[in-house]
Chain A
Amino acid sequence: MSSPASLIKLEGVTKVFLTDEVETHALSGIHLDIRQGEYVAIAGPSGCGKSTLLSILGLLDSPTDGTYVLNGRPVQSLSLPERARIRNREIGFIFQSFNLIGDLTVYENVELPLTYRGMPAAERKAAVTSALEKVGMGHRAKHLPSQLSGGQQQRVAVARALAGSPAVLLADEPTGNLDSKNGDSVMQLLADLHKGGATIVMVTHDTRFARHAERTIHIFDGRVVQEQVEQH
């Protein structure tokens, strides 16, 4: 089996937060290699650095030290507008608390990242419609987020993340605010997307959900302590 190209490559990434003269070593010497089409879970106890790792992957934050190569391009020290552009094109975010924009309809929420890249309206329409179909929310396009249940909101958030066909979907505890039934169905949705070829990196503190992934990286106190490959 020929291994697909490396999509994300972290080498020696550390992250140090300075607050009130106290240094918090959120990440220490992380090496990570994620290939195209992989579904990786990042697990570990609360406060171990999962979210920090994910935001570095998502270019919301930059490492204190180390290198990050995304799609063959070093990205650890780019300007703000360049990082915004990469976030917009290469990365799809799914947040624990959905973070849909309350004043925008479901359709407009999904469309939002596409408008930032200046995609023509017709193309946008096709992409939004197809993304909403994929998550089974096509019939709710005109609704406002407040008119949806939590599970439905998270499906819309997933549609927003994948509408622009990003290189990778980053999900930080996507089921954290959902009951178990809704949580399961969102997990199923991600699994389906993975089967369809999507690269997914998901943070969870609940190892039950990690079984959906092909590979689970356990983090403790800012270090990778164990890598575990699921057998399917």
Chain B
Amino acid sequence: MLSDLRFAFRQLAKSPGFTFVAILALALGVATATSMFTFYNALLLRPIPFVTDESTLLYLRTYNVRQPADDFDSSVPDFRDIRRESQTLSGALTVWNRTYILGGSERPERALGNWITADAFQTLGVRPALGRLFRPDESRPGSPPVVILGHALWKRSYGGNPDLLGQTITLNNESVTVVGIMPEGFAFPETTQLWQPFPDNEMARDEERGSHGFPIYARMKPGVTLSSVQAELDTLGARHEAAYPKTNTGMRFRALLMRDEAMREEKLALQLMLGAVFAVLLIACGNVANLLLARSSARSRELAVRAALGAGRGRLVRQLLTESLLLGVAGGLAGFVLTFWQIDFVLSLIPVEIPFWIRFDLDWRVLAFALAATIGSSLLFGAFPAIQLSRPDLAQELKDGARGGTASGHGRRFRAYLIVFQLALTLVLLVAAGLMTRSFLHLQNIDPGFDPTGIFTFRTGIPPTIEKDEKIAQKFFETAIDRLREIPGVEDAGFISYLPLTNSSNYNSFAIAGRPEPTPGQLPSAIYRAASPGVFSALRIPLRRGRFFDERDRADREPVAVVSEAFVAKFFPHEDPLGRRLVYGHELEEKLRKTVTIVGVVGDIAQRPTAREIDPAVWLPLAQKPDNFMSAVLRVKGEPASYLAPAQDALVAARAGIPLYLPGPLAKVASDNMWPQRFFGFLFIMFAVVALFLAALGIYGVMAYNVAQRTQEIGVRMALGAEPRNVVTMIIGQGFRLVLAGLALGLVAAWFSAQLLASLLHGVEPHDPPTFAFVPLLLALVALLACYLPSRRATRIDPLHALRGE
């Protein structure tokens, strides 16, 4: 065994070129597979940390039976009823996200926190690192305010001081007692690290059954199945429908495992990618197998001698597999090093904070995968050559000189199959990468309906806990606009409730006055956004009809609205929308309704970066629709990012102690919001490039070996008068037959697998003609080049030398 190993070392050292290429191919294959598996593991396999028994944790969604594919968060009254009435759930919790101002300085820090139902952490099974969880009475109105902090927030903003427990800190201008610190790494949900008990009086509000903004997490009772929870929720939904027809007609609840919900969108992409990565690994194995096969005839003489000397077949196979394993281990180690580098690089593509439970460090699963990939692939690529080499034709190999014709190796056909298969897989990956790239480019080139360049933006606002009076909060925005406009270089300034091209938006349903009473649950809805007049000019949104908001639209004047072109197309296709009225809160009692009159029509803008179509939108003047937090948009001269400091000063001048957060150029904010597209697109491109490189390497190896093996034949041809161009044409022609076969097979496979990508593509058909035309061309070109190099070498064969070899 040791002698096998020693001999294997010597063999590999003897041909350093071969060894290098083989290890490189393997390293690339193993690294790509392992880093992809790391992502897969982090997102889909790794248990959610801190939470006990993830398999009984559910995420409940509300949906309308008319559009069962779209589901959304739930309402507080529905949550309350589910929690009270369910027999299958042992607990349920919900959160309400809130913006917190930490401390009382002039330029305070802002943190995202939430109200969380008081027993939530018990339901999740998370224990604090320090202090305690909430007590039930702490959610009662009038009880002293308390907070639990996340570990990182505690470290960052409070120096990690353990004496903070029991002390009070200032949150939104209120003194709050810190009762607990959660363990390091924990956040909930996603990235939030500041929790206060959900107040009972907020929980008791009854009028908000139609307002779906509350995610519900729940714990199944032991022994209960997901389907029995679902059955119970169905009954409950039907009962709510009967009891509250106005808000709950068609509304049902859906139970999902927490992990499934979190990864619903990414799951398909991840699975496809894992498939892609196995393809890359297979290609790498195919390459090495090919190289080993190519060496086989060079060594068949050696093996024939060994066999003649009495080495059994098992002995020979063992010798060869030792070599493969040695290569595999070397490739695996190199690949593992590459993996770290690859993961770092890929993570740098994620510009946003990722949820707490996604962790990319290596765990036993990744190590096991890398090990299995390494050993599995070395056995796989070692097996074919070993079997083939271990039964050389003794008589043929040992017979001296007697070659009636030039050799036609039996391994040649098998190598050809491997290459064809490899090229086909590469084409599939390239097509996927091409589609993802086209989709991404399409998103980048979507006309957003406004000009995002030269815009500086940030978010700010006064939490309701600081300023109960909406008018004062609103006054703040108006003063701020005036201060911001005074900054030299600022051409226009305004506030908007949600930035366009981000993933946040607010939809609201309405009734159109003068139209027949809509059936309950069938109210139309549209994006609902507030804006100050300056937004239209700052973003250069065009006016189509009527007027923009202006100074007339004060809080005490008639409520007005401006609608988008898409809104008109959808709801007033044949009518003049100007002067028509929309009723918000139609399902509510009279005094809670809000009626607005349409005074203008403006151009469409893209709210979501990946919108396939522009959603209809209703704009309300900021003065008439108070919001606590808004995004500023400043049209500026020069580099937008340089306006952070002056903007901060302007805010302090408007009112000290108000945080400015999420600052940046609008173009960057929008592009950061497209990170999933960029991320997945990039991964596909990375895999495709690696696969392309490996395929080129593979076809080069096969052709170079072919040329080497056919030296004598080529010599004969040259002796008979073949000119260099004849030789080049012949070699490339032969290589190209393989390429064509690979392309044909690959095109068929790509045609079918592209369909799987459909849901990830924006603005590109899965069978996008340019992709399907260009990508095979690219592969053919690269393959052609890979064939050309060996063909050049063939022309340098000296016929005399080749013939003397006889």
Contact = CB atoms under 8 A, between A and B. Distances in A.
B723 interface: yes
Nearest to B717: A112
Contacts of B70: none
Interface string B725-755: 1100000000000000000000000000000
B403 interface: yes
A88 B721 contact: yes
B726 to A, nearest CB: 6
Nearest to B800: A60
Interface residues of A, number: 33
B713 interface: yes
Interface in A119-151: 144-146, 148, 150
Given A61-B800, A101-B405, A84 B712 contact: no
A158 interface: no
Contact of B406 (A61, A88, A101): A101
Contacts of B721: 84-85, 87-89, 113, 116-117
B54 to A, nearest CB: 62
A45 to B, nearest CB: 18
B719 A146 contact: no
A177 B402 contact: yes
B723 A113 contact: no
B726 A87 contact: no
A60 B401 CA distance: 21
Contacts of A23: none
B404 A150 contact: yes
A196 interface: no
B407 A116 contact: no
Contacts of B726: 116
A207 interface: no
Interface string B377-404: 0000000000000000000000001111
B723 A99 contact: no
Nearest to B806: A97
A145 B404 contact: yes
Given A112-B717, A116-B720, A160-B720, A60 B404 contact: no
A153 B404 contact: yes
B799 A60 contact: yes
A145 to B, nearest CB: 4
Interface string A62-101: 0000000000000000001100110111000101111111
A181 to B, nearest CB: 17
Nearest to A153: B404
Nearest to A55: B800
Given A55-B800, A116-B726, A87 B404 contact: no
A194 B726 CA distance: 32
B403 to A, nearest CB: 6
A158 to B, nearest CB: 13
Interface residues of B, number: 25
A97 B405 CA distance: 8
Listed residue (B408, B718, B720, B806) with the most chain A CB atoms within 10 angstroms of its CB? B720
Nearest to A56: B800
A103 interface: yes
A4 interface: no
B803 interface: yes
Contacts of A88: 720-722
Contact of B718 (A84, A101, A148, A160): A84
Contacts of A85: 721, 723
Contact of B724 (A80, A144, A145): A80
Contacts of B716: 95, 99, 101
Nearest to B713: A101
Contacts of A146: 404-405
Contacts of A96: 806
Nearest to A117: B721
A93 B803 CA distance: 12
Contacts of A55: 800
A117 B723 CA distance: 10
A156 to B, nearest CB: 10
Interface in B73-117: none
Nearest to B716: A99
Given A88-B721, A89-B721, A99 B406 contact: yes
A217 to B, nearest CB: 21
B142 to A, nearest CB: 95
Nearest to A80: B724
Listed residue (A84, A116, A148, A153) with the most chain B CB atoms within 10 angstroms of its CB? A84
A44 interface: no
Interface string B652-670: 0000000000000000000
Contacts of B408: 102-103
Contacts of A153: 404-405
Nearest to B412: A103
Given A81-B723, A113-B720, A102 B405 contact: yes
A94 to B, nearest CB: 11
Given A145-B405, A146-B404, A153-B404, A99 B722 contact: no
A60 B800 CA distance: 6
Nearest to B403: A97
Contacts of A97: 401-404, 806
Contacts of A150: 404
A98 B404 CA distance: 7
Interface string B601-622: 0000000000000000000000
Given A84-B722, A85-B723, A113-B721, A99 B407 contact: no
A172 to B, nearest CB: 9
A205 to B, nearest CB: 16
B733 to A, nearest CB: 13
- Nearest 3 A-B pairs (CB), nearest first? A88-B721, A102-B405, A145-B405
13 contacts: A55-B800, A60-B799, A85-B723, A88-B720, A88-B721, A95-B803, A99-B406, A99-B712, A100-B404, A100-B405, A101-B405, A102-B407, A113-B720
Interface of B: 401-408, 712-713, 716-726, 799-800, 803, 806
Given A60-B803, A97-B401, A101-B717, 6 more contacts: A81-B725, A84-B722, A87-B720, A93-B719, A97-B404, A99-B719
